[in-house]
């Protein structure tokens, strides 16, 4: 048992952690202050606890939460690798905490780091320029597609469609729609990859871009990538690389060399920036030389004098973040890349791919598509993948991503990452196989050894209670 929280299921409820306001709150009247009453609110009610009580509250909450350091976290597509401690320490340096409107001359250290990590990422992706502005992967997609839109407009060639394979991340579809494009969904070929003939049929004069993940969400490398890029380029479109699966390719292959024109990186996946319970991330975007003039404003660069400056690219798409993106994560990403170096990055992908392939040989589940790289998509067969995952929790491990991609029935999308040991992979395989051997009733009653039992999602959605105010109203 790697992670067991069954003790939290004590019937006595002693271990239940009340809300801050349930412990103590205070309502204060807002009056007699420096502003006239008609410009102020009347009252404010907030939790009112001493620091020691708060420290216990948040420590208890942390104990009711599973992170990478609690055990394996093979969540496909999310790259939940170990987050080295020093990268958080450097992000906490006083000199990193500067105001975004400071003069460029007074923040040369920050701009130096930004320009250097831009160069590192450009090298890793085979791109010519990289912006650090997008604060997350989805924001990177939005930036990249905005660049594609600006490029076509600059050529007086307004285009209305973005092509996306059916197996792609949901963000790709949402991004294209947000940027005002119609989505053309591309059915996968029988081998789980892009089908060239289908692509040839899908492209047209309106094709602004193809968005592609490589290796794709099944972990498969798009072997025809050069022809794919040619088909899109011949139609006048651009090819966008979704960097979600870049952990498979570090130092092994580069999107720029495959014909991609635009790509985003996920610093919080590939480059060990901690996921933080869902953010903040960072989604830098790389482009080939012809597209560099469209990058967001501002962009950092080194001057001929060896100083660093910010400038607005000639045909910039403008702003995608209020200031300079999630700067502290750019710094964390720099710290990770610089620690590993080129060889360490190449080793990262080798171990990530080795771990996924090894784990796959140790589990008894069917894996319909291959050869896969850093992740594989197994099928839970006759079992419900979501129930399968809940039962895995009882073996003290985090389950894979479930029920997606839909090409695999009852999918279990599994990405162990390079930072798991062979012993942990074996324990993970045991968890998979134990669950596989169990009956549906056992699965349906899981989980039993977690803080909370199976949570009723339907009632949460039918009767949304999204604040302590709503809970109080419900009790009245």
Partner 1 sequence: MSFEIPDELHYQDSHEWVRVDDGTATIGISDFAQDELGDIVFVELPSEGDDLDAGSDFGVVESIKAVSDVYAPISGSVTAVNEDLLDEPELVNEDPYGDGWMLKVDLADEGELDDLLDAEEYEAQLA
Partner 2 sequence: MSDTTEPGNPFTPHTPSDVEQMLDAVDADDATDLFDIPSAVRFDGELGIDARGEQELKREITETLAQNDELVEFMGRGHFAHYVPSMVDELSMRSEFVTSYTQYQPEIAQGFLQALFEFQSMLVELTGLEIANCSIYDAATALGEAATLAQRVRSTSGDRVLVPELLHEGKRGVLENYADGPDLVVDTYPMDDANVDVDGLEAAIDDDVAMVYAENPTVRGTVEENASAVGDLADEHDALFVLGSDPVAMSLLQRPADVGADVVVGEAAMLGLGTAYGMGTGIFATREDYLRQVPGRLVGASEDDDGRRAYTLTLQTREQHIRRERATSNICTNQAWLALRVAMHAAHLGADGMVDLAERMVELPTELAADLDALDGIEAPVHDRHHFREFAARTDRSAADVAADLESEGFAVHAIDDHLLQVCVTDVNEHATDDLVAAMEAVL
Residue 44: strand, helix, or coil: strand
Whether 391 contacts 447, CB under 8 Å: yes
Tokens representing residue 267 in the block: 């610093």
Q: What number of chain residues touch partner 2 (CB under 8 A)?
A: 199
**Cβ-based neighbours of 438, under 8 Å, separated by 6 or more:** 391
Q: What number of chain residues touch partner 1 (CB under 8 A)?
A: 5
Distance between CA 56 and CA 363 in Å, rounded?
Answer: 40
Convert residues 360-379 into a mask of x (bound to partner 2 by CB under 8 A) and - (unbound).
xxx--------x-x------
Distance between CA 157 and CA 176 in Å, rounded?
Answer: 17
**How far from each other are the two terminal CA atoms of the chain, in whole angstroms?**
42
Q: Which C-beta is closer to partner 1: that of 227 or that of 379?
A: 379
Segment interacting with partner 2 (CB under 8 A) among 61-69, 233-241, 286-294, 406-414: 61-69
403 binds, among partner 1, partner 2, none (CB under 5 to 8 A by kind): partner 1
Query: Are β-strands 43-47 and 25-29 bridged in parallel, bridged antiparallel, or unpaired?
Result: antiparallel
Convert residues 298-327 into a mask of x (bound to partner 2 by CB under 8 A) and - (unbound).
-------------------xxxxxxxxxxx
Segment interacting with partner 1 (CB under 8 A) among 306-314, 333-341, 375-383, 454-462: 454-462
Is 403 a residue that touches partner 1 (CB under 8 A)? yes
Beta strands in 337-449 (DSSP E): 376-379, 401-402, 411-414
Segment interacting with partner 1 (CB under 8 A) among 1-9, 64-72, 304-312, 456-464: 456-464
Phi-psi label, residue 18: left if phi above 0, alpha if psi -120 to 50, beta otherwise: beta
Distance between CA 204 and CA 161 in Å, rounded?
Answer: 9
Q: Cα-Cα-Cα-Cα dihedral of 268, 270, 273, 277, to 10°?
A: 40
Q: Which C-beta is closer to partner 2: that of 181 or that of 240?
A: 181
Is 382 a residue that touches partner 1 (CB under 8 A)? no
Is 34 a residue that touches partner 2 (CB under 8 A)? yes
Among 97, 154, 303, 409, binds partner 2 (CB under 8 A): 97
Among 190, 462, 466, 475, binds partner 1 (CB under 8 A): 462
Is 461 a residue that touches partner 1 (CB under 8 A)? yes
In Å, the largest CA–CA distance within the chain is: 74
Tokens representing residue 423 in the block: 């012993």
Among 7, 33, 306, 476, binds partner 2 (CB under 8 A): 33
Tokens representing residue 356 in the block: 């996924």
Among 128, 293, 297, 384, binds partner 2 (CB under 8 A): 297
Q: Which C-beta is closer to partner 1: that of 178 or that of 386?
A: 386
Is 457 a residue that touches partner 1 (CB under 8 A)? yes
If residue 23 lies in a helix (H) or strand (E), which one and from where to where? helix 20-23
Q: How far is the CB of 312 from partner 2 (least distance, A)?
A: 10
187 binds, among partner 2, partner 1, none (CB under 5 to 8 A by kind): none
Segment interacting with partner 1 (CB under 8 A) among 66-74, 138-146, 161-169, 458-466: 458-466
Enumerate the β-bridge partners of residue 376. 414
Is 441 a residue that touches partner 1 (CB under 8 A)? no
Residue 394: strand, helix, or coil: coil
Q: Which C-beta is closer to partner 2: that of 178 or that of 198?
A: 178
Q: How far is the CB of 463 from partner 1 (least distance, A)?
A: 9
Q: How far is the CB of 306 from partner 2 (least distance, A)?
A: 11
Other C-beta atoms closer than 10 Å to the C-beta of 249 total 26
Is 103 a residue that touches partner 2 (CB under 8 A)? yes
70 binds, among partner 1, partner 2, none (CB under 5 to 8 A by kind): partner 2
CA–CA distances in Å: residue 51 to residues 57, 60, 62, 167, 223: 10, 14, 16, 48, 57
Q: Which of 1, 3, 2 is nearest to 451 (CA)?
A: 3
Convert residues 169-208 into a mask of x (bound to partner 2 by CB under 8 A) and - (unbound).
xxx-xxxxxxxxx-x-------------------------
Among 39, 437, 441, 458, binds partner 1 (CB under 8 A): 458
Tokens representing residue 467 in the block: 């604040």
Any idea which residue has 């092509």 for tokens? 163
**Cβ-based neighbours of 14, under 8 Å, separated by 6 or more:** none
Q: How far is the CB of 245 from partner 1 (least distance, A)?
A: 23
Query: Are β-strands 129-131 and 285-287 bridged in parallel, bridged antiparallel, or unpaired?
Result: antiparallel
297 binds, among partner 2, partner 1, none (CB under 5 to 8 A by kind): partner 2
Convert residues 111-150 into a mask of x (bound to partner 2 by CB under 8 A) and - (unbound).
-xx------x--xx-x--------xxxxx-xx---x--x-
Distance between CA 211 and CA 209 in Å, rounded?
Answer: 6
Q: Which C-beta is closer to partner 2: that of 73 or that of 432?
A: 73
Q: Which C-beta is closer to partner 1: that of 46 or that of 460?
A: 460
Whether 313 contacts 299, CB under 8 Å: yes
Q: Which residues bind partner 1 (CB under 8 A)?
A: 403, 457-458, 461-462
């Amino acid at each position: 048992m790697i992670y067991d929280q069954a003790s939290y299921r004590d019937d006595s409820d002693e271990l239940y952690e009340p809300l801050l306001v349930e412990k103590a709150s205070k309502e204060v009247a807002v009056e007699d202050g420096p502003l006239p009453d008609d410009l102020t609110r009347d009252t404010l009610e907030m939790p009112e606890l001493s620091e020691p009580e708060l420290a216990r509250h948040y420590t208890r909450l942390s104990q009711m939460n599973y992170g990478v350091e609690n055990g394996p976290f093979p969540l496909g597509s999310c790259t939940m690798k170990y987050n080295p401690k020093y990268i958080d320490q450097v992000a906490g340096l006083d000199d990193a905490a500067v105001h975004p409107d400071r003069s460029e001359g007074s923040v040369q250290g920050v701009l130096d780091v930004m320009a250097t990590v831009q160069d590192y990422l450009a090298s890793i992706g085979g791109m010519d320029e990289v912006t650090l502005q997008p604060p997350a992967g989805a924001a990177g997609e939005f930036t990249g597609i905005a660049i594609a839109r600006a490029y076509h407009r600059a050529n007086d060639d307004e285009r209305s469609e973005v092509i996306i394979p059916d197996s792609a991340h949901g963000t790709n579809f949402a991004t294209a729609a947000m940027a005002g494009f119609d989505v053309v969904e591309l059915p996968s070929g029988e081998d789980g990859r892009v089908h060239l003939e289908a692509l040839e049929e899908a492209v047209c004069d309106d094709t602004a871009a193809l968005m592609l993940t490589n290796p794709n969400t099944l972990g498969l490398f798009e072997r025809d990538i050069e022809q794919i890029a040619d088909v899109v380029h011949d139609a006048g479109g651009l090819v966008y690389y979704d960097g979600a699966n870049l952990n498979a390719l570090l130092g092994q292959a580069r999107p720029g060399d495959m014909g991609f024109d635009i790509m985003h990186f996920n610093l919080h996946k590939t480059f060990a920036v901690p996921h933080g319970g869902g953010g903040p991330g960072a989604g830098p975007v790389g482009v080939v030389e012809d597209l560099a003039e469209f990058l967001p404003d501002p962009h950092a660069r080194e001057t001929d004098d060896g100083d660093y400056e910010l400038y607005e690219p000639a045909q910039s798409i403008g702003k995608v973040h209020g200031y300079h993106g999630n700067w502290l994560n750019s710094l964390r990403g720099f710290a990770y890349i610089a620690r590993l170096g080129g060889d360490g990055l190449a080793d990262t992908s080798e171990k990530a791919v080795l771990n996924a392939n090894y784990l796959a040989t140790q589990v008894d589940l069917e894996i319909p598509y291959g050869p896969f790289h850093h992740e594989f998509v197994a099928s839970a067969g006759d079992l419900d993948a979501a129930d399968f995952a809940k039962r895995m929790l009882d073996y003290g491990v985090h389950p894979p991503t479930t029920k997606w991609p839909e090409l695999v029935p009852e999918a279990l999308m599994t990405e162990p990452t390079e930072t798991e040991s062979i012993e942990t992979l074996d324990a993970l395989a045991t968890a998979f196989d134990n669950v596989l051997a169990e009956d549906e009733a056992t699965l349906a009653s899981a989980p039993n050894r977690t803080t909370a039992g199976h949570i009723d999602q339907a009632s949460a959605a039918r009767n949304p209670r999204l604040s302590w105010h709503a809970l109080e109203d419900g009790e009245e």
